[in-house]
Structure 1
Amino acid sequence: MKILIINSGSSSIKYQLIEMPANEVICSGMIDRIGLEISNLTFVSTSNKIEESLPIADHKIGLEKIASLLMDEEFGVIISTEEIEAVGHRVVHGGSTFSNTVVITEEVKEKIRQLFDLAPLHNPANLEGIIVASEIFKNAQQVAVFDTAFHQTIPVIAHKYALPNYLLTENKIRLYGFHGTSHKYVSENAIHYLTQNSFSKESKIITIHLGNGCSMTAIKNGKSVDHTLGFGPMNGLIMGTRSGDVDQSIIFYLVNTLGYSLEAVNTMLQKQSGMLGLTGFSDLRDIEKQAENGNVDCQLALAMNAYRIKKYIGSYSAVLNGLDAIIFTAGIGENSSYIRKLVCTDMDYFGIELDLEKNELRSKEIREISTAESKTKVLVIPTNEEIEIANQVFELLVE
């Protein structure tokens, strides 16, 4: 079964065409920096590699470009859209409605649309991907895999807010958690790696997903027990354009004293804050380059970013009552040795000691970047949300 996986992020689209159940990747690629002046596109198959820099204004244009590459007369890997039997979509917020993978119906689309306010940078892009894919791949089953599903194991002590009880029972206001597909994939790989290296099957790990969106998960024995993102994907760590944690009273001050509208505050916190608000840049590669050239704002922003991650490592080590490993993943986590160094410096109390030479290495495989003496393993594990989504789609359709 050929399954096309579409992972529409807030500023990117990752895709893979996978032959299941063999987990054979026929082609893969990515478009990043969507909406910026120049976007980057890659398309990789067994026989060809295409790299282009071109303007891609939105996700619809990006998805149409991907479809044209799949069926390109010279470089394509399929002749007809009928070869694709299923399209698996990453959907960020499933709310209280979706805790499992589902076949997409009009009702499912409407539920995803109703959750736009809770994930305004993601669910609209996710739904756009579903709509465009439904038009292009008319005979394929469209399936949604929800980021929130992995975090359904978070206990009530962690997922309930200290608000009037009816807001949970009647309005379902609680911590949902996000990036679950990524956290699930890398945590399972981490646990396998640790057990292969003489660790107990019982494990206490923290997964750190760092991209344009960022989150951390405390995972005990393979189950999510706490997570930095909550009701919507805006709190927790400092992100590309999202603020992460702020004092709620700031919102009231902005509205009641400074005269901001609620819509303006929401836009500020979602799209104008984070690393963009601190530096004028949202892409970490640009920020690191500016920091190396002496930009004080960028240097401070990177230090703040790492400081926030450190705070959560401390918090989650307490929640887990110990720590076997921390795992860096996603675009920044896998590729930024600078951020990993900032995070792991002066963390010896937690048994974290970074090997500076190993930290500079790059690989598509799991790599251990802590010293031999480090009590806590520091791992870099490339995430593969697409493979995880493909597995879940295949399991659903062949049941």
Structure 2
Amino acid sequence: MNMSGTRYVLSLNGGSSSLKFALFAAHGSVNQEPILSGQIGRIGEASSEARLFRQGAPVNDTLCPAAITDHGAALRQILAWVEYDFLAPATRQALTGVGHRVVHGGTRYTTAQVIDEAVIKGVEACTALAPLHNPINLELIRSVREALPTVPQVAVFDTAFFHDLPAHAAQYALPAELVARFGIRRFGFHGISHQYVCRQASERLGLPDRPARLISLHLGSGSSIAAVRGERCVDTSMGMTPLEGLVMGTRCGDIDPGVALFLAQKSKLSVEKIDHLLNHESGLKGLCGSADMREVRSRATNGDADAQQALALYRYRMTKYIGAYFLALGGVDALIFTGGIGEHDTRLRAEVVESLSPLGIRLDAAKNTQSGQAMIEIHSPDSTAKILVIPTREEWEIARQSLAALDQKNQ
């Protein structure tokens, strides 16, 4: 592969009803700002939404069909934007590669992989562990292959960052024979985001004599916490599936497994309906009727008791994990907030940090009001740990890992 000139990589980040993308140039390393980026949301609904940014500036005349029926159609719309802005149809080969966020790689994939038939079959084999996401990832891979048959593709796995969790953090206390037969373990998720922000935090800390001890909070509709020492994750809140851990928008997080058994016995709900209940009707939505943190916050402020209790449980679960990970790491050098809620909900950050005062972690109220696209420090001078707000850049991380995988394959 020619590495002397400019290379271009398209990053695709498919969610259950959305598709984010970013087109990056690389001069050796990947440029920090994308040439073109955006998102198509509400895929499969009657009216889809589109946002497009050119060199970071919003494009106000973004054209998008009223309804994007599936992720393949969303990809075709994105390629039309890329083609119009950057690549003529005859020069699509100028793309060095296309990188995909793939949610679940199981135990097989611990690094980004250049996609071939074997990788496709491997992703298919993990579909039962991520039934909402891996099929979408596969649909996008096949759609790119059809549209850009000569452009190599790379799978960047959300689970890879957690592949070497210590055994005591990865295992469930289940019979060994069943664990071995079905590959049961804690995999972790949001790994691309956690890996990116922890690398940024380590560089900011610049500790010369030891690895940084970091607690990363990725807070959004789905949320997770990771305890990281240097470049290795030592524990994380999500488990074999994204259901474990924190209270989330529609997911219950940690729950006594006996609750699911009790529901099956007493309510006669099927396994499928219980699965739907725990993943789509629980969390904040189950507690107060809304999965939107902004609405929950507004209702709590106006005295809604259910919303207030939902926020109390949301914060308590988070604080409990932070305390546990403080002990697991033997202290903490930086607490990181990222994700849509972590980056923008200043009040939640203040409430969570207030509960950490026994650990000596303290917030600067004035700094906490800052916002922007860059990393900010919001701790007080006497805090025992830095508190960082780091905008996650999953698409950039996908591009970085994709080029690294392509370079390794072509050495």
TM-score, normalised by the number of residues in structure 2? 0.89
Q: Structure 2: where are the runs of 5+ without partners?
A: 1-6
**Alpha-carbon shift at residue 34 of structure 1 (Å):** 4.7
Partner secondary structure for residue 35 of structure 2: strand
Between stretches 230-239 and 77-86, larger displacement belongs to 77-86
- Taking a change above 3 Å as real, the CA distance of residues 309 and 38 of structure 1, as seen in their structure-2 partners, is farther
- Taking a change above 3 Å as real, the CA distance of residues 12 and 340 of structure 1, as seen in their structure-2 partners, is farther
1:206 aligns with 2:215: yes
Percent identity between matched residues is 39
1:245-264 aligned at under 5 Å gives the runs 245-264=254-273
1:188 aligns with 2:199: yes
Task: Name the CA distance, whole Å, in 2 between partners of 1:39 and 1:155.
Answer: 43
Task: Name the CA distance, whole Å, in 1 between partners of 2:70 and 2:296.
Answer: 23
- Taking a change above 3 Å as real, the CA distance of residues 146 and 305 of structure 1, as seen in their structure-2 partners, is same
Match of 1:216? 225
Letter in 2 for 1:23: V
- Taking a change above 3 Å as real, the CA distance of residues 27 and 176 of structure 1, as seen in their structure-2 partners, is same
Aligned to 2:100, which of 89, 101, 122?
Answer: 89
1:145 aligns with 2:152: no
Q: Structure 1: where are the runs of 5+ without partners?
A: none
Over residues 131-166 of structure 1, what are the superposed CA-to-partner deviations in whole Å (9 max), with x where a residue is unaligned? 222222222111101111111221111111111112
Between stretches 301-310 and 166-175, larger displacement belongs to 166-175
Match of 1:103? 114
1:144-183 aligned at under 5 Å gives the runs 144-183=155-194
Match of 1:16? 22
1:116 aligns with 2:122: no
Partner secondary structure for residue 208 of structure 1: strand
2:14 and 2:20 in contact (8 A); partners too = yes
- Taking a change above 3 Å as real, the CA distance of residues 47 and 340 of structure 1, as seen in their structure-2 partners, is closer
Between stretches 32-41 and 183-192, larger displacement belongs to 32-41
Letter in 2 for 1:123: N
- Taking a change above 3 Å as real, the CA distance of residues 106 and 333 of structure 1, as seen in their structure-2 partners, is same
Partner secondary structure for residue 215 of structure 2: strand
Partner secondary structure for residue 263 of structure 2: helix
**Alpha-carbon shift at residue 9 of structure 1 (Å):** 2.5
**Alpha-carbon shift at residue 40 of structure 1 (Å):** 4.0
**Alpha-carbon shift at residue 84 of structure 1 (Å):** 1.9
Letter in 2 for 1:29: G
Match of 1:317? 326
Match of 1:126? 137
Letter in 2 for 1:4: L
2:36 and 2:56 in contact (8 A); partners too = no
Match of 2:340? 331
1:229 aligns with 2:229: no
Partner secondary structure for residue 182 of structure 2: coil
**Alpha-carbon shift at residue 100 of structure 1 (Å):** 1.7
Match of 1:66? 78
Match of 2:4? none
**Alpha-carbon shift at residue 311 of structure 1 (Å):** 0.7
Between stretches 1-10 and 19-28, larger displacement belongs to 19-28
Task: Name the CA distance, whole Å, in 1 between partners of 2:316 and 2:111.
Answer: 34
Task: Name the CA distance, whole Å, in 2 between partners of 1:240 and 1:37.
Answer: 23
Letter in 1 for 2:107: S
Task: Name the CA distance, whole Å, in 2 between partners of 1:368 and 1:47.
Answer: 23
Letter in 1 for 2:330: N
1:386 aligns with 2:391: no
Letter in 1 for 2:53: V
Over residues 282-336 of structure 1, what are the superposed CA-to-partner deviations in whole Å (9 max), with x where a residue is unaligned? 3323333343444333332222212111010011111111111110111111111
Over residues 226-285 of structure 1, what are the superposed CA-to-partner deviations in whole Å (9 max), with x where a residue is unaligned? 111111111001122211111100110111111100010011112222222223333323
1:191 and 1:201 in contact (8 A); partners too = no
TM-score, normalised by the number of residues in structure 1? 0.92
Partner secondary structure for residue 76 of structure 2: helix
Partner secondary structure for residue 6 of structure 1: strand
- Taking a change above 3 Å as real, the CA distance of residues 70 and 264 of structure 1, as seen in their structure-2 partners, is same
**Alpha-carbon shift at residue 70 of structure 1 (Å):** 1.7
- Taking a change above 3 Å as real, the CA distance of residues 279 and 41 of structure 1, as seen in their structure-2 partners, is farther
- Taking a change above 3 Å as real, the CA distance of residues 251 and 292 of structure 1, as seen in their structure-2 partners, is same
Task: Name the CA distance, whole Å, in 2 between partners of 1:335 and 1:47.
Answer: 19
**Alpha-carbon shift at residue 58 of structure 1 (Å):** 4.5
Task: Name the CA distance, whole Å, in 1 between partners of 2:240 and 2:109.
Answer: 14
- Taking a change above 3 Å as real, the CA distance of residues 40 and 375 of structure 1, as seen in their structure-2 partners, is farther
1:10 and 1:212 in contact (8 A); partners too = no
Match of 1:7? 13
1:258-297 aligned at under 5 Å gives the runs 258-297=267-306
Between stretches 114-123 and 287-296, larger displacement belongs to 287-296
2:107 and 2:163 in contact (8 A); partners too = no
- Taking a change above 3 Å as real, the CA distance of residues 137 and 211 of structure 1, as seen in their structure-2 partners, is farther
Partner secondary structure for residue 59 of structure 2: strand
Aligned to 2:370, which of 354, 361, 365?
Answer: 361
**Alpha-carbon shift at residue 55 of structure 1 (Å):** 5.4
Task: Name the CA distance, whole Å, in 1 between partners of 2:248 and 2:49.
Answer: 20
Q: Across the two proteins, how many residue pairs are aligned to each other?
A: 394
Aligned to 1:351, which of 336, 360, 368?
Answer: 360
